[in-house]
Amino acid sequence: MLRLRGTTFAADDPSLPYLMAKRKPNEELAESSNRRRKPQPKRRGLGTLVLLWPFFLIQKLTAPFPLPVRWALRLIAHPALLGAIVAIPMALFYYARARSYDMAKVEEMPERSVVLDRHGEEIGRIGGEKRDIIPLSKVSQDFIYAILAREDERFFAHHGVDWIGFGRATLRNVKDRSMTQGASTLTMQLARNSFPLYASWLEFSPNLQDLDRKFLEMAVTYRIEANFSKEEILEHYINRIFWGHTIRGIEEASRTYFEKPASDLTLSESALLAGIVRGPNAFSPFRDLSDAVHERDTTLDRMVVAQFITPEQAEKAKAEEVKVRPEWRRVFHDSWALNAIRPELERILEKEKIGFGGLQITTTIDLAVQNKAEEALNRHLRTFERRSGYRHQTRATWQELPEPRPNPAYLQGSVVVIENLTGAIIATVGGRDADESKYNRAIQASRQVGSTFKPFVYAAAFESGMRTDAMISDDPLARGEIRKAGTWSPRNSDGTFLGYQPVDIGLIRSRNTMSVRVGNYAGLEHVADVVRQVGFTSPMEMTAVSYLGTLQASPEEVASAYTVFPNGGVRYPTRIITEIRNRKGEIEYTKDQVHYQSIKSDAARNTARILGEVMTRGTGAAAKRLGFNHPCGGKTGTTDDYKDAWFAGFTSSLTCAVWVGLDQPKTIFDRAYGSTMALPVWVEVMKTAERLGYKAEGLVSTEPFAEARICRTSGKRATQGCEIAGTAYTESLPSDHLPPEDDLCTEHNDLLSQVVEDAPKAQIVDPNTEVPANSDSSEKAPKARPVADPDTDAVPRAIPVEEEPVPRAIPVD
C-alpha cells in the first residue's frame, strides 16, 4: 500500500507509475524527511517541575492503571493533594495562634466571694460572677448524662472535634436547606467560652471573621484536649456555662431555678437544665415554663437514643411536675452588711482579686443582731409614719408610686453596734431598706450630733483637772464670759436656769449653759484634740457653739467614739473584716487588733459613771421602762428644730448608736426627741444582743482594773503633799498600767514638811482613806477642794474677748 497526496494506492495499481512520475521534488524531500525524524517529548520549565511535582508524581503513579481506574484515582488524588497543600499551612498558622492562649485560663472562672458572719453563717455573696464552682463529683449523674445527650453524645470518643458529628450536621443542613444543626462539641464550646477568639483585624468582613474564629476555635480545642482529661474538661464546662439571668455554672443554676444543690437534681430537672442551654434566656422556666418543659422532653428523648436511660424512665420524668423557685423569691435582696463590707474590701484587696472572686470573707457581723437591728428600726419608724398629722412622705406611699420611682424621701434611720474591746462592727444598718435606697447612712451620712457630743466636752474637762464634784453655774452666760462666744447665750431645753449645780448634773440633765462652761474650762483646743483622738474625722468648728454638738459625724463614728467610755479611754478602731481566704483556702488577709489610749482613763471612767446616771435619772431613763434593766450608760441628742434624733449608749460589752431623721434635713415633727425616736430602737437591739451572749455586766469592759491616787503634776503615786497641793486624783487603770507602788511623787515634799514636822519626804496615800499608808496618824490628811478652773477655786469669771460671729442655730436637748 502506498499513500500519495492524501490517497492510498495498492502496490499493483496501474496508475501508480504515472503519479509517481508527477511528484514534485520538494514533496519527495518532505517525505524522506518525515521518514527519518523521530517524535520528541515536550520540554517543561524547572519552575513548573518544582511547583507541580506532586501532581506529576500522581500522574506517573497512576499511568499503569487502565484508563477508567486511572482517571478515577486522579479525580480523587488531585483534589486531596490540593486540599493538603492549603490545609497544612493553615493548620500551622492557627496552631501558632492557638499557642498564644494560656490553658490555665480554662479553669480560672470568676465566681462570687462568700461573706460569712462571725459564727460562720453566710451573709451573702459579692464580687465576681454569679457562679459557684464545684467538682464533678458534686453533680447529679442524671445531669451529666443529660448534658452529654443534648450537647455532645460522642464526647468521650472524639479528640475535641467530632468529624462524624460535623459531617452528619452538614448533611442535615444541606438536606433541610438550613443552618440549624451545629457541630460544636463540649470542648469547642469551652474554648470559645474561655477565650476571646474573634480577630479584630477582620472586622471589615463579618463572614470572614466568623470563619477565622471557627478555625481558631478548633485549634484551641485540640490544645485543651491535650492539656486536660475528659473529666476535667466536662467539669470546667459545666461550671463555666451560662444559664440565663446572669447565672453561670450548674450549681448556681440549680440553686436559682430549683433551690437545691446540683447533687440533688432529679432526672426531670437535669434534663430541663440541659435542655435550656442552647437558649438560656429564651427557654428560661422563669419566663415561659412550657418552653422549658418542651426542651426537657426533647432532651429526655435524646437520652433514650443515646441509651443513657430507658424509655420508661423518660416517660416517668416527663410526667413529673416542674417546680421552680416561686416568683416572690426570685428577687435577690441587697444587704446593709454587704453594703458596708464592699468599701472595706476595696481598701484591702486589689480590684482584680475582688472581681475574680472565689474568696471566703469572714466578718465581725453577728447576723442575728444585724437582722434584729434592721427589723426594729423599720418597725419603730413605721409607727411614727402612722401617727395622725404626720406630714412627710411615708414608706408605704413611696412604694405605691409607679416605676421608676424617685429616690425615697420617707423617714430614715441608722443603727451601728460595736464590740467595745475589739472595735468589731456587730451590726450596721444604713436605712430602712437596702433595695430601695443604696445610700448607706451608717457610714456615708454626716449629720449634726447634738447633745451626744457633750460627754466628750466633759471628758476633756476632766482631763484638764476638773473634779466630778465641782460646782458649775447654770445661770445665763454673761457677755465675754466664754471664750470664742461673743454675745451668744444659749438657753436650756426647759427654759429654766438652776444656779450652781454639781458638774455631773450638767451632763445628766443635758444643761446647755453648764456644758458650755465645762467646755470653756477645758478650752476649744483641748476639746478639739479629744474629738480627733476618739475617732471623729470632721474638724470641730473653733467656736463656743461647738460645745453643744454642731459637729457633723456618721453613726459609725459616734458609736466608735462612745466605746472609749466603757473601755477606760482605750479606743479600738472599727473593723468589719477579720480574715480573707482565697479559693485554695490560703489566708490572703488577717486583721490584728490594735488600740491606743485616746483619753485618760480616769476622765473616761468618770464620764462613763455620769452617763450611767443619765440612764437612771436623766434623758435616757426611759430605757428601764422599755425593759432594759442591765447596767448601761448613754446620752440622747436632739438637734435644733428636731431635725436629727440620736441615742448613743453602751454596756460593758457593746456600744450602739442610733440616728433618725430625713435625708434632706427638716423638722421630723414637734418634740421629736432622741429619747422618743432613737432610744426605743437601741433598747430592742441591746436586749437581743444580751440574750445572744453579749453580757451587760457593768459600765466598763471586763478587764482587770485597779485604783490608785496619782499626782496630776508628776504622774506618779500621790503623797500627802500632793493632797495638800490639790493635785491628787483617783486613777483607774489596768494593774500593769499604774505606776509602781514605790514610785512616789517628790514634787510636793515642801508642802508636806510645812504641815507635819519631821515628815518623811514622800508618803504614799491610800485611795480609800486619803491617809498616808505608812503613817500611824489617825487623822485624815486635808482633802483636795473641788476645782473649776486650773488657776482658781472659784467658778470661772467672765473674761473679755473679741466678739466673733457664731451660728444662730443651736442644738437643743
Q: What is the mean pLDDT of residues 581-601?
A: 89
Bin 671: left if φ > 0, else alpha if -120 < ψ < 50, else beta.
left
Question: How far is it, in rounded angstroms, from Cα 665 to Cα 502?
Answer: 35
Residue 746 pLDDT exceeds 60 = yes
Per-residue pLDDT tens over the stretch 695-724: 887 776 645 556 788 887 787 888 888 888
- Cβ distance 499 to 471 under 8 Å? no
Pairing type for strands 360-363 and 113-116 reads parallel
Tell me the one-letter amino acid at 387.
R
Tell me the one-letter amino acid at 676.
T
Residue 142 pLDDT exceeds 60 = yes
Of 562, 786, 525, the residue nearest 686 (C-alpha): 562
SS3 for 27-92, per residue? HHHHHHHHHHCCCCCCCCCHHHHHHHHHHHHHHHHHCCCCHHHHHHHHHHHHHHHHHHHHHHHHHH
Residue 344 pLDDT exceeds 70 = yes
Residue 148 pLDDT exceeds 80 = yes
Residue 776 banded pLDDT, cuts 50, 70, 90: very low
Per-residue pLDDT tens over the stretch 288-325: 999 999 999 999 999 999 999 999 999 999 999 999 99
* Per-residue pLDDT, 793: 33
Residue 754 banded pLDDT, cuts 50, 70, 90: low
Q: What is the mean pLDDT of residues 737-750?
A: 80
Residue 224 banded pLDDT, cuts 50, 70, 90: very high
DSSP-assigned beta bridge partners for residue 764: 719
Question: How far is it, in rounded angstroms, from Cα 469 to Cα 712?
Answer: 17
Residue 261 pLDDT exceeds 90 = yes
Q: What is the mean pLDDT of residues 264-282?
A: 95
Superfamily name with CATH number, domain 131-329: Biosynthetic peptidoglycan transglycosylase-like (1.10.3810.10)
DSSP-assigned beta bridge partners for residue 650: 633, 655
* Per-residue pLDDT, 108: 87
* 631: Cβ contacts below 8 Å, ≥ 6 apart: 612, 651, 652, 696, 697, 698, 699
- Cβ distance 584 to 345 under 8 Å? no
* Per-residue pLDDT, 749: 79
Question: How far is it, in rounded angstroms, from Cα 647 to Cα 666?
Answer: 19
pTM: 0.73
Question: How far is it, in rounded angstroms, from Cα 301 to Cα 131?
Answer: 29
Q: What is the mean pLDDT of residues 203-215?
A: 84
The 10 Å Cβ neighbour count of residue 657 is 31
Choose from 24-33, 264-273, 763-772 the range with maximum mean pLDDT: 264-273
The 10 Å Cβ neighbour count of residue 599 is 24
- Cβ distance 612 to 631 under 8 Å? yes
Residue 607 pLDDT exceeds 50 = yes
Per-residue pLDDT tens over the stretch 651-678: 999 999 999 999 999 999 999 999 999 9
Per-residue pLDDT tens over the stretch 176-196: 555 444 568 999 999 998 998
Question: How far is it, in rounded angstroms, from Cα 505 to Cα 472?
Answer: 9
Look at the chain and count its residues.
813
Mean residue pLDDT of the chain comes to 84
Per-residue pLDDT tens over the stretch 424-461: 999 999 999 999 999 999 999 999 999 999 999 999 99
Residue 471 pLDDT exceeds 90 = yes
Residue 46 pLDDT exceeds 70 = no
Residue 22 banded pLDDT, cuts 50, 70, 90: low
Question: How far is it, in rounded angstroms, from Cα 175 to Cα 332?
Answer: 47
Question: How far is it, in rounded angstroms, from Cα 634 to Cα 706?
Answer: 24
Question: How far is it, in rounded angstroms, from Cα 693 to Cα 124?
Answer: 24
Of 522, 524, 498, 521, the residue nearest 509 (C-alpha): 498
Q: How far from each other are the two terminal CA atoms of the chain, in whole angstroms?
A: 145
- Cβ distance 359 to 582 under 8 Å? yes
